[in-house]
Amino acid sequence: MAARGQFSTRIGFILAAAGSAIGLGNVWGFPTNVASNGGAAFVLVYLILAFLLAYPVLMVELLVGRHYQSNPVNAYRKLTGNIIGTIVGIIGLLTVSMILSFYAIVGGWIVTWCLHYFAMALGMTDAANWLVAFGNTRNVIFTIIFFVLTAAIVRNGVSEGIEKWSTRLMPLFFLIIVLLIIYVATLDGAGAGFRAYLTPDFSIITDPELIINAMGQAFFSLSLAVGTMLVYGSYISKKENIVSLGIWVAVLDISIAIVAGLLIIPAMYVAQANGVQIYNEAGSLISSDGLLFSVLPSLFETMTSTAIIVPIAFFTLMIIAAVTSSISMLEVPVSFAIENHNLTRNKATMLIAGSILLISLIIVFNFGSLFGLVITATTEWSQPLLGLVISIFAGWLWHRNNILEEIKQGNPDAASGLFFKIWPWYIKFVCPALIALMFWRSL
């Protein structure tokens, strides 16, 4: 078997892991949740849960990954010493594959929207309209294209594929999002958007629905519990201070969610100032796919002066967000196939990308019944439940000495730090209790 890959630099890991975390969840899911869950009230609950719950679970995955230097199936098997670990690893692997199967469909739509604006610029109106009309042919073609993009990166391996492309694309992402925010802020109506975003409706802050949405959003956004961060963690050198790496990733991801809100929510109010409807019949802000594929495009249509460059920048931003996340999803089953079934990386990538593509196509052809179902089952159920199980694994089954040793690798002064003193205890009692409590309340 070939040697395991490794991230070649510290910043390479940070950008790859932040690239995984920063995705459609930040640029689309988060603003959507804000729009439908009381504005800044959601932001506040999200912030609390992200630091109190998601960051500690992120550290479980990074530490377990680096300690066992292996994919989630092997790592959890070794950690538990029995088949339960294997099963949990496999469930994670299946969950992330299902997430990729719907993510790639959405990724395909984003590519079509980007091309739509190029076609418009070239005066190819028919093609432009076909690109954004919902249809099976279009969905199939662009889902395939999205898989090809993803597989083309993953087949080149950890440092030559994932790390290289994350280091190229993520700085561009940061640049585009800042430029877009500055631009949108200058438009009429943006002020009302900033106010709506930053004024909390505290009356719903204890609503179980809001809390469970915030927890799901935090788990999804940090790519948790499905093996992604574990696999990326397994490619971190023992020389690195993993506690600070984890903080970097969490802070970048959480900040980009908040920053994306500063772009999307004001943009909706600019659209309203231009005559676009942004509230639905029930009186709440239009969210979800309506936001991305109807409100924002209507906004772009009203911006004739700047025409094509703004929407192209926006959908390029979304493509970067989507691809740097989808590669991290594909890497989980690929690492398993390489390590447990002795496939070459190239073969493993083709085989697995092809299989998940088949699942995507099944969803495309049964869109009405499957699309929403797969999203709910994976992100609202599987991810938080797996989060519960792996924090129990780390808290109760992993030898305390192993954990402490792993934290100290690359971080000799760790023992005097707060993380070292609090986290093992926190992950043992507080995390499982909090997650279980929230589940129970949502039922």
Closest of 53, 65, 73, 57 to residue 395, by C-alpha: 57
Q: Which is nearer to ligand PHE, 104 or 403 (CB)?
A: 104
Q: Is 341 exposed, middle or buried (0-12, 13-18, 19+ CB in 10 A)?
A: exposed
Given a contact cutoff of 8 angstroms between Cβ atoms, the answer to whether 65 and 234 are in contact is yes
Closest of 278, 297, 293 to residue 35, by C-alpha: 278
What does the binding site for ligand PHE look like in residue numbers (CB under 6 A)?
Answer: 20-21, 23-26, 96, 99, 220-221, 223, 226, 228, 325, 328-329
Closest of 365, 325, 311, 371 to residue 112, by C-alpha: 311
Q: Which is nearer to ligand PHE, 276 or 356 (CB)?
A: 356
Helix (H) or strand (E) holding 154: helix 136-154
User: What value, to the nearest 5°, has the Cα angle with vertex 286 and ends 280 and 292?
Assistant: 145
Q: Which is nearer to ligand PHE, 276 or 352 (CB)?
A: 352
Joined tokens for residue 367:
């869109």
Q: Which is nearer to ligand PHE, 213 or 228 (CB)?
A: 228
CB of 58 to ligand PHE, least distance (A): 11
CB of 414 to ligand PHE, least distance (A): 27
DSSP 50: I
CB of 33 to ligand PHE, least distance (A): 12
Q: Which is nearer to ligand PHE, 147 or 183 (CB)?
A: 147
CB of 422 to ligand PHE, least distance (A): 26
Q: Which is nearer to ligand PHE, 131 or 323 (CB)?
A: 323
CB of 410 to ligand PHE, least distance (A): 25
Given a contact cutoff of 8 angstroms between Cβ atoms, the answer to whether 64 and 79 are in contact is yes
CB of 317 to ligand PHE, least distance (A): 13
CB of 283 to ligand PHE, least distance (A): 28
200: three-class secondary structure by DSSP? strand
Dihedral over Cα of 346, 350, 353, 355: its sign: negative
